[in-house]
Amino acid sequence: MKALVTGGARSGKSDFAERLCMSRASRACYIATAQAYDMEMKERIALHRVQRESAGYDWQTLEEAQALPELLQQLGGDQASQPAPMLLVDCLTLWLSNVLLAAGEDGEAASRAAMDALAAAVEQYPGQLVIVTNEVGDGIVPEYPLGRLYRDLSGVMNQRIARLCDEVFLVTAGIPVELKQLEYKL
């Protein structure tokens, strides 16, 4: 089972994704893609850790800002010795931002290559996988080129990953709706 959970900022998507994992496995690996560049972000990350730990669920937390496809491949590893763990990736749009900004002038090409690697890793992951992402295209058109590029790449990435997932949840105001059940087929 692979599930994508999307929605706007503060929509409740991470909370829902965590509860989804807890309902489907007795333990999971939480892959955090955020980087703490300032004190406010450090405090957010610390708060998220405390909230997960206080839930009484067996989370193993890994932090990976850029090499997410490689980490998914590594964790999917050798199935003969041990089944692949339930994974929660939070979140893809932060990961894409990390990749885009780290690449500098080659940002678009590097991001597209990273998205190809991510799609392959998601498709090949043998265990349960829940992925959180943001819907960044629902707002105004960014006024600067890098913002427009990020919005466009995020939309392309979300569509690609959604096609690979068995379930796609849109969370708005804390209410999840499974979109693939509602999908109109042409």
Among 8, 12, 36, 48, the active-site one is 48
Structure tokens at 14: 């991470």
- In sequence order, what E strands does the chain have? 2-7, 27-32, 58-63, 87-90, 129-132, 167-172, 175-178
> For residue 154, which phi and psi values (nearest 5 degrees)?
-60, -45
Assess whether 42 carries a catalytic annotation: no
Closest-CA residue to 89 (of 131, 52, 50, 129): 131
What are the residue numbers of the active site?
A: 48
